[in-house]
Structure 1
Amino acid sequence: MNYVSIDIGGTFIKYGVMDTNHVFQFQSKVETKVNIDDAIYHQVEAIITEQKHAYTISGVGISTAGIVDRNKGEIVYAGPTIPNYAGTAFKKRLTERLNVPVYVENDVNAAMLGEVWKGAAKGADNVYCLTLGTGIGGAHYDNHRLIDGANLKADSIGYLLYDPETKLNYEQRASTSALNNVLKSELGNAFHAEKAFELARSGDMKCYDVIYKWTAEVAKGLAQIILMKDPAIILIGGGISRQGDYLLNLIKNQLTIFLPAHFLNTELKIAQLYNDAALYGAVFPFFKED
Structure 2
Amino acid sequence: MKILALDIGGTAIKYGVFDSTTTKIGNVLEKETPRSETTNYIMETVIKIVKEVKETHDIQGIAVSTAGVVDPQTGHIVFAGPTIPNYTNTAIKQTIEETFHIPCEVENDVNCAALGEWWQGAGQGSESLVCVTIGTGVGGAVILNGALWHGSAFSAGEIGYLPISNGKALQDEASATALVAAYSDLSGIPREDLNGKIIFEHAKAGEEKAIKAIDNMLTALNQGLLAVTYLISPDTIIIGGGVAVQKEYLEEKIASKLKKGLVSTRMLPEEIKCAELGNSAGMLGAVYHFQQKQH
Say yes or no: TM over 0.5: yes
| Counterpart in the other structure of 1:90 | 92
Give the direction of change, closer, same or farther, for the CA distance of 1:262–1:21 in structure 2 (3 Å limit). Answer: closer
Give, in angstroms, the shift of residue 172 of structure 1.
1.4
Identity %: 37
User: Conserved in 2, the CA contact under 8 Å of 1:66 and 1:77?
Assistant: yes
1:65 counterpart = 2:67: yes
Give the direction of change, closer, same or farther, for the CA distance of 1:164–1:245 in structure 2 (3 Å limit). Answer: closer
User: Conserved in 2, the CA contact under 8 Å of 1:184 and 1:192?
Assistant: no
1:277 counterpart = 2:278: no
| Counterpart in the other structure of 2:268 | 265
Matches within 5 A, 1:214-233: 214-233=217-236
Give, in angstroms, the shift of residue 91 of structure 1.
0.5
1:194 counterpart = 2:206: no
Answer with 27-36 or 3-12: which moved more. 27-36
Q: Distance in 1 between matches of 2:164 and 2:83?
A: 19
Matches within 5 A, 1:4-153: 4-25=4-25, 26-34=27-35, 38-153=40-155
Q: Any gaps of 5 or more consecutive residues in structure 2? A: none
User: Conserved in 2, the CA contact under 8 Å of 1:183 and 1:193?
Assistant: no
Give, in angstroms, the shift of residue 236 of structure 1.
0.6
Q: Distance in 1 between matches of 2:97 and 2:229?
A: 40
Letter of the 1:27 counterpart:
V
Q: Distance in 2 between matches of 1:32 and 1:181?
A: 25
Q: Any gaps of 5 or more consecutive residues in structure 1? A: none
Give, in angstroms, the shift of residue 171 of structure 1.
0.8
User: Conserved in 1, the CA contact under 8 Å of 2:117 and 2:281?
Assistant: yes
Give, in angstroms, the shift of residue 38 of structure 1.
4.8
Give, in angstroms, the shift of residue 191 of structure 1.
3.0
Letter of the 2:23 counterpart:
V
- Partner of 1:247, secondary structure, is helix
Q: Distance in 2 between matches of 1:5 and 1:185?
A: 40
Give the direction of change, closer, same or farther, for the CA distance of 1:213–1:38 in structure 2 (3 Å limit). Answer: closer
User: Conserved in 2, the CA contact under 8 Å of 1:183 and 1:192?
Assistant: no
Q: How many residues are matched?
A: 288
Give the alignment's TM-score, normalised by structure 1: 0.93
Give, in angstroms, the shift of residue 247 of structure 1.
1.0
Give the direction of change, closer, same or farther, for the CA distance of 1:194–1:135 in structure 2 (3 Å limit). Answer: same
- Partner of 1:57, secondary structure, is coil
> What is the root-mean-square deviation of aligned Cα atoms in Å?
1.8
Give the alignment's TM-score, normalised by structure 2: 0.92
